[in-house]
Amino acid sequence: MYFGGIEAGGTKFVCAVADENQQIVEKVSIPTTTPEETLAKVFQFFDAYPLKAMGIGAGVVLNGEIFQGIAHPEMGHIYVKRHPQDTYEGTCPYHKDCLEGLAAGPSLEARTGIKGQELPEDHPVWDIQAFYIAQALMNYALTLAPEKIILGGGVMNQEHLLQKIRQQFLQQMAGYMETPAPEEYIVRWGLPNESGIIGSLLLAEAAEKE
């Protein structure tokens, strides 16, 4: 198993992957530019490794810099309203049924016994997951009024899930706050099909610089 870590800053993002003995296997330094561009490179880097999806990470880019308060925000651990058909207790070791506990990768397999990437598109668990993620995005939109919400991670490679999240977002927001069209407002980081090769290229580039 590999572990991924990010040190995020206004000038650069240092991303590293370590093995079980906490030995760094690979490390890159990505210049901080626009949120879309920077995060795309971060996701591409981590996509090159079989990282176990453990949680939900979320951050805020404010005036081109990563927002920091007393620590970095932990927006994955917010509480969400329970889906009426969901009885799953949640996986978060701290809060059980916070967003991460209810909607992170491992919750899909825990509910269904099927790995997330092998779940069919019409499985009802996707509606439950979209319900929770959309709720979190609505909370972020209401709290921060961001210009754009960018989603990444392995689960977001499921195009149908992104569509469901956008629909749920509109439904749950219920017209209260005006946001750009969901196709433009809630987006996935770019180049999903080429991420593997681009990740490899980034690694090669980083290796050469050392």
- Which residues sit at the interface with Zn ion, rule CB under 5 A? 77, 92, 94-95, 98, 100
Structure tokens at 108: 């899909």
Q: Closest separation between CB of residue 82 and Zn ion, Å?
A: 14
Pick between residue 12 and residue 77 the one whose CB is nearest to Zn ion. 77
Nearer of residues 47 and 97 to Zn ion, judged by Cβ: 97
d(CA 125, CA 60): 28
Length of the chain: 210
Q: Which residues contact 159 (CB under 8 A, 6 or more apart)?
A: none
Q: Which is nearer to Zn ion, 21 or 94 (CB)?
A: 94
Q: Cβ 35 to Zn ion, closest distance in Å?
A: 24
Distance from C-alpha of 67 to C-alpha of 7, rounded to nearest angstrom: 13
Least separation in angstroms between residue 87's CB and Zn ion is 18
Q: Closest approach of Cβ 7 to Zn ion, in Å?
A: 22
Beta carbon of residue 99, minimum distance to Zn ion (angstroms, whole number): 7
Alpha-carbon span 157 to 125, nearest angstrom: 16
Please, which residue, 53 or 187, has the CB nearer to Zn ion? 53
**Separation between Cα atoms, residue 140 and residue 191, nearest integer Å:** 25
Please give the Cα distance from 25 to 207 (Å, whole number).
11
- Of 72 and 95, which has the nearer Cβ to Zn ion? 95
Shortest spacing between CB 76 and Zn ion, in angstroms: 7
185 near 149, Cβ under 8 Å?
A: yes
| Cβ closest to Zn ion, residue 72 vs residue 77 | 77
Residue 171 DSSP symbol = H
Neighbours of 80 (CB within 10 A): 19
User: Using CA atoms, how far apart are residues 81 and 71, in angstroms rounded to an integer?
Assistant: 26
